[in-house]
Amino acid sequence: MPRWSGLRAQLLATLALMLAGCAESNRTIVFDTVAAPRGDYTLVALVITPWFPQGPHQVALDLIQTADGGTERLIKTSLAYDGVPFTKQNIGLRWTADHSALVCLRATDRPDQGVQITVETGQPTKVQHRHRC
């Protein structure tokens, strides 16, 4: 009986290590970073690779406040991956004004998704989804 309990402990330890290796933070890659015109904020696009090779990639957008370094996760969405690495034509970031940004997510075989971001001091960040960019 002691042999089985030792084997079970090894199996549980192996499973725990495998799950830790699959954590989202281990699968997250900074894709692009764009500072606001005045430098008050930085918009960061992250690509989160799937657990399985054919799974959907996730795209996350973080907003960093330059003054205090605080980070806010704005969205996390799926973007179809057709085997071709993402380029800046698939994920486009740009500031349209001092406190307004536009993000375009373009999968090869799906309609464009747009995200309009508006940041105002002392107000919650506004995130509006658009069907086109």
Q: Taking the domains of the chain in order of start, what are their residue ranges?
A: 25-130
What does the pLDDT average to over 58-85?
A: 83
Q: φ, ψ for residue 72 (rounded to 5)? A: -125, 125
- Residue 72: what pLDDT? 94
pTM of the predicted protein model: 0.73
- Residue 116: what pLDDT? 94
Dist CA 51 CA 23 (whole Å): 9
- Residue 96: what pLDDT? 95
